Amino acid sequence: MDLLKQRILEVGVVASDQVLKLDAILNHQVDPVLIMEMGKEFARLFRETRPDKVLTVESSGIPIAYTTALQLGVPMVFARRKKTLTMDQDTYSERVPSFTKGIVTDIMVSSHLLPKGERILIIDDFIANGDAARGLIKIVEKAEAELVGVGIVVEKSFQNGGKSIRERGIRVESLARIASLANGQITFD
């Protein structure tokens, strides 16, 4: 997605050889027009897979999953990281290590929101080692729902996440693939 790559070059901050900060458009401030274009692109890529629902994890996945779901005309569900007072007792949960934060968190989805057999499209902002995506995939599997694919805004292809999920036969589409962040330079694939 050329518009996204252009914006990444404009506002992306290379925090280290491993981490790209996109706080201006995605992870802190949100650019609604750009996020809507992402949703249109994911909808175009995955419409033929006939998703019933879009699944992401809070917080940064939410705007992208929302515009994707809006374009597809289906609901969006986000996995929570904290159990809320009102949340059902009956949840699917997974333990997920976070690459950027260096901690382990639990993500959870109320089981009634993922009926058996439903066709699920997973959307997230970044893929690094793929732990977050794997956690969501496990939740889909536990629900006996059907995963139609994974859409990622920024795939860091120098890390293993996208590759390892594709190797399982799962369709992964990313809107921008970054080959390297070495020497403070953003290099696309």
- Least CB distance to ligand G4P at residue 161 (A): 4
- The span of 42-50, 82-90, 97-105, 164-172 binding ligand G4P (CB under 6 A) equals 97-105
Which of the choices ligand G4P, Na ion, none does residue 127 contact, using the CB cut-off of 5 to 8 A by kind? ligand G4P
User: Binding of Na ion at residue 155 (CB under 5 A)?
Assistant: no
Q: Which of 43, 51, 54, 60 binds Na ion (CB under 5 A)?
A: 60
User: Binding of ligand G4P at residue 19 (CB under 6 A)?
Assistant: yes
> Per CB under 6 A, which of residues 74..93 are in contact with ligand G4P?
none
Closest CA to 55 of 110, 116, 121: 121
**CA dihedral in degrees (49, 52, 58, 64; nearest 10)?**
50
Rounded CA separation 184/97 (Å): 26
H/E segment holding residue 172: strand 172-180
Q: Are 53 and 77 in contact (CB under 8 A)?
A: yes
Q: Are 178 and 155 in contact (CB under 8 A)?
A: yes
User: Binding of ligand G4P at residue 22 (CB under 6 A)?
Assistant: yes
H/E segment holding residue 63: helix 61-72
Which of the choices ligand G4P, Na ion, none does residue 99 contact, using the CB cut-off of 5 to 8 A by kind? ligand G4P
- Least CB distance to Na ion at residue 80 (A): 13
- The span of 40-48, 64-72, 124-132, 163-171 binding ligand G4P (CB under 6 A) equals 124-132
User: Binding of Na ion at residue 131 (CB under 5 A)?
Assistant: no
23 φ/ψ angles, rounded to the nearest 5 degrees: -65, -20
Rounded CA separation 97/146 (Å): 24
- Footprint of ligand G4P (CB under 6 A): 19-22, 27, 57, 59-61, 98-101, 125-133, 156, 161
